[in-house]
Structure 1
Amino acid sequence: MQPSGPPSAPPTLASTLGRAPTRAFPVKTRKLQLSRGADRPLPTTVWYPAAGDGPFPVIVFSHGLTARPADYASILSRWAGAGFVVAAPAFPHTSGGVADFDVVDLLNQPADASYVLTRVLALDGKAGDPLRGRLDRVHVAAAGHSGGGITTLGMLTGARDERLTAAVVLAGRQALPGTFSGPEIPVLFVHGKQDLTVRYIEGLAAFRAVPWPKGMLTLPNAGHVVTGGADFDIVAGATTDFWRWSLYGDAGAGRRLDRRDNLDSDF
């Protein structure tokens, strides 16, 4: 791969800088009690830089089946500390502890994630909000793990959210109806070869189906969940560099991606 630059978009302070923040920010969290209708509560945890004016790109993150946003705190806080605002909803029928679990409700989750993105971006103009004037409303992205990866791919296909300018799919596959459509954006896939829940071949098929610039980071010894150790460091480092390149236009991050082992891409 030879990273050049992400797809062009209307300029903002973040995009015209051509590089991501060089400092690591302290991170704060907050809870938003969102709901897309009376029967679709979407309590959302937001990780965001506690300092700095921004504007910071925004990422909506979708959890896996029976998981919760807090289960991903290690990597989401890493992204936030690098200069991103990350919003992670708990979905009403697939998150951990729900009484009426229903895997079919994955069909509704791309619209849920888009709704959460809309509500979070609106905070940029809300008087008195800690995020007022600190959000980059042009450079926004989606990411998800497992069932959340399915949700993220749904936001690129049948429930296309054309605001998205990049996406990351962790241990996901294409399971929702629709084909890839809308503006071209870069997509990074991450998958363990020893995954017994979503097989590597399924993730590879989704990767191959994407008609846009794309990358597949293969973890030879990893399973479905990576929570620590060397594999976690690889995932956290690669995804953060991907965000820095795709959302800030940081060429240095692109070069680091280019040097990564086990990354097959045409970025």
Structure 2
Amino acid sequence: MRRVAPALLASALLTGSLVGCSTETRPAQSRQAPPAEPPPTATETPRVPAGTAPQRAFPVGVRQLKLTRDGRALPVTLWYPAAGEAGGAVKRSATAAEGRFPVVMFSHGLGGRPDDYATLLTRWAAAGFVVAAPTFPHTSRGADGNVLDVLNQPADVSYALTQVLALDGRAGDPLRGRLDAERVAAAGHSAGGVTTIGLFTAGRDERLDAGVVFAGTAIGVGTAFAGATAPQLFVHGELDEVVEYAAGKAAYDKVPWPKAMLSLPKGDHGRTLLSDGAALRVVSDTSVEFLRWTLYGDPAAKGRISTDATRGDIATFDDHL
């Protein structure tokens, strides 16, 4: 990846821990995005063939995958649709449901871990997606907190994706024959949002069909979005005390593909993602329908995105999908 000013990246992300977000807020004027040119009307469609997403909810299984890339330990948590009736607690090493499921790579924020986001990620798995979340070696909770290592994380995610997809053909693996390598997305929060943007810019992974960015910024990875059309969903709190709303909006404005931004007027940097509540339900339902559309090619799901996004006046929705 190209070199960037380390001080800029560090200042944007150094306090970006998911679980340690400050409750202080900045003056309202500091959160306002400068006037921007109207985004181009989206005319391209996702490259995933039209199809239908599962209408049922699945129970969810979870397992761990131990990976190492060039000496970098990358344990991956996998949540996946399991066999049986929906409901109940997530079951470790449960039998996978029948079918072939799209894959979503999720990147945690600075000082976080995949399990912090389990409420959201298990909802994705219950909707019919295999969610793979690496624990990064320097930016996870308990690590050395080297914020500049975020620039190595897009390559970590690409490596982990290769290893996860390989399970589909591995004899004896519980996910053998269950992964659809032609339907893949990336998502992430805060430093993980930077990682996700990087997977569509400087570290473009052409296997990715869509992206979901929570409280992210393009500092360090740039906004030179490249490659095939990959629709993007941005989610950002307008009271974000770590990554200013304007910074996320600026990255969103540069996306050249079909895109939408879910803005939470009362949202902070990420506590909405931690536990169930009205705001998380709006975020999870909106993101599920976005993934159903972009990865299953389900046109009916696309029609439900804006309805879920604007339910209860919790968020506003800039829709260019």
TM-score, normalised with respect to structure 1: 0.93
Deviation, 1:229, is: 1.4
* Aligned-partner Cα distance in 1 for 2:67–2:200: 23
Partner of 1:230: 278
C-alpha distance after superposition, 1:83-139 (max 9, x if no partner): 0000000000000011x2200001100000011110000000001111111111101
Say yes or no: does 1:245 pair with 2:300: no
Partner of 1:12: none
* Aligned-partner Cα distance in 2 for 1:231–1:166: 23
Paired letter, 2:108: H
Say yes or no: does 1:265 pair with 2:319: yes
State the SS of the aligned residue for 2:75: strand
Partner of 1:103: 147
Say yes or no: does 1:120 pair with 2:164: yes
Deviation, 1:3, is: 9.7
Aligned 8 A contact 2:240 2:269 in 1: yes
Partner of 2:135: 90
C-alpha distance after superposition, 1:149-189 (max 9, x if no partner): 00000000000001000110001110123411111110000
Partner of 1:176: 220
Deviation, 1:4, is: 9.5
Partner of 2:4: none
Q: 1:33 aligns with which of 66, 72, 83?
A: 66
TM-score, normalised with respect to structure 2: 0.78
Q: 1:255 aligns with which of 271, 295, 303?
A: 303
Q: 1:144 aligns with which of 161, 168, 188?
A: 188
State the SS of the aligned residue for 2:115: helix
Deviation, 1:263, is: 1.3
* Aligned-partner Cα distance in 2 for 1:205–1:63: 21
Q: Root-mean-square deviation (CA), in Å?
A: 1.6
* Aligned-partner Cα distance in 2 for 1:200–1:115: 30
Say yes or no: does 1:49 pair with 2:81: yes
State the SS of the aligned residue for 1:164: coil
Aligned 8 A contact 1:192 1:221 in 2: yes
* Aligned-partner Cα distance in 1 for 2:303–2:228: 24
Paired letter, 1:124: D
Say yes or no: does 1:219 pair with 2:252: no
* Aligned-partner Cα distance in 2 for 1:209–1:3: 13
- Which segments of 5 or more consecutive residues in structure 1 lack a partner in the other structure? 10-14
Partner of 2:252: 207
Deviation, 1:258, is: 3.0
Aligned 8 A contact 1:158 1:176 in 2: no
Deviation, 1:5, is: 8.9
Paired letter, 1:250: D
Paired letter, 2:175: L
Say yes or no: does 1:163 pair with 2:207: yes
Aligned 8 A contact 2:44 2:257 in 1: no
Q: 1:8 aligns with which of 47, 57, 60?
A: 47
- List 4+ stretches of structure 1 deviating above 6 A: 2-5
Query: Percent identity of the aligned residues?
Result: 56
* Aligned-partner Cα distance in 2 for 1:4–1:29: 38
State the SS of the aligned residue for 1:176: coil
Aligned 8 A contact 1:143 1:149 in 2: yes
* Aligned-partner Cα distance in 2 for 1:50–1:237: 20
* Aligned-partner Cα distance in 2 for 1:255–1:148: 28
Paired letter, 1:22: Q
Paired letter, 1:78: R
Counterparts in 2 of 1:92 and 1:132: CA distance versus 1, 3 Å: same
Deviation, 1:8, is: 2.4
Aligned 8 A contact 1:57 1:247 in 2: yes
Instruction: State how many pairs are aligned.
Output: 258
Larger Rg: 2
Q: 2:126 aligns with which of 81, 105, 128?
A: 81
* Aligned-partner Cα distance in 2 for 1:5–1:138: 18
Paired letter, 2:78: V
